[in-house]
Amino acid sequence: MILFPAIDLKEGKCVRLQQGDMARATIFNHDPAQQAAQFEAQGFRYLHIVDLDGAFAGAPVNAAPVERILEAVTMPVQLGGGIRDIGRVEDWLAKGITRVILGTAAVRDPAFVRQAARRFPGRVAVGLDAKDGRVAVEGWAETSDLTALELAQRFEDAGVAAIIYTDIARDGLLKGLNMEATIALAEAISIPVIASGGLASLDDVKALMEPRAAKLEGAITGRALYDGRLDPRAALALVAGLAA
C-alpha cells in the first residue's frame, strides 16, 4: 500500500481545490519544491503531482515548478495534467518523471494512451475522475458519457500501470474515500487501482489496510495532510504495519 502525498499546481503555487473547482482553491505553499522536500523528509516514498492549469489548457503550464520539484527530491514522482501527446510523455519521462497520468486523453484519444503504454511499460497511468458516476475530462470541466468501469475496461490489455480513481464529489472536502466504488472497480479489472478524493483521517488509512482493500495499490492524500488532520508519521507507520 502506497500513500501518495499530492501537490496540485495552480499558477506555480501548491493548492487544494474543492470538487475540482478552480474558483475554490486554497493556497497551502508558495514553494512547491519545498513542499515536496518536506513530504520526502516525512518518509513518503512516492509523490503525486497534478498541473491543474495544464489540465484545463490541454498542455503543460506549470513545467518550471515541476522541474524544481524533481531537483528537490529523490523519490519517484507521478505527474498528470495537460499531457495529451506522445511527445509530452517522452519529454516528462526524460526529465525524470517516473510515471505520467493520462486523463482526458483516455477518453478523447485512447489509441494514444495505448501507444504510450506500449512504448513505456509500467510508466503510464490512467486517471479516471468520476462525477455522478460518469468520467469527467478537461480539468473536470466536462462530463463524458462513459462510466469509470467502461473506460477502465478499454485499457485492460494495454499495459497501463495503474488506474487512479477519483470521486470528484468528495475531492478536497474531507468526506472520506469512496471505498465501495473504488474497491468495486479494483475487483472488476486486473489493472492496479489507486484511490483518490476525500481521504480525511487515519480512519481512512485504516480502511485501506483492511483485507477487502487488498487489491488497491494505494491512495492519494491532499488536504488532510496540509491542514493537519492526518499525521504523516502515524499514517506511514500504519501503512508499514508498525502501528499498534
51 assigned to active site: no
Tell me, what's the pLDDT at 140?
62
Q: What is the C-alpha radius of gyration for the chain, rounded to an integer number of angstroms?
A: 16
* Cell, residue 124: 503510464
Q: Exactly one of 51, 129, 171, 204 is catalytic; which is it? A: 129
Dihedral (Cα; 208, 213, 216, 218), 10-degree rounding: 10
Tell me, what's the pLDDT at 189?
96
* Cell, residue 34: 519545498
Spatial contact of 168 and 136, defined as CB atoms under 8 Å apart: yes
129 assigned to active site: yes
**pLDDT block averages, 10 residues each, the chain of length 244:** 96 87 88 98 98 92 98 98 95 98 91 96 94 76 84 94 90 82 95 94 95 95 94 96 64
Q: Exactly one of 8, 51, 167, 171 is catalytic; which is it? A: 8
CA separation for the pair 170, 172 (Å, rounded)? 6
Tell me, what's the pLDDT at 12?
97
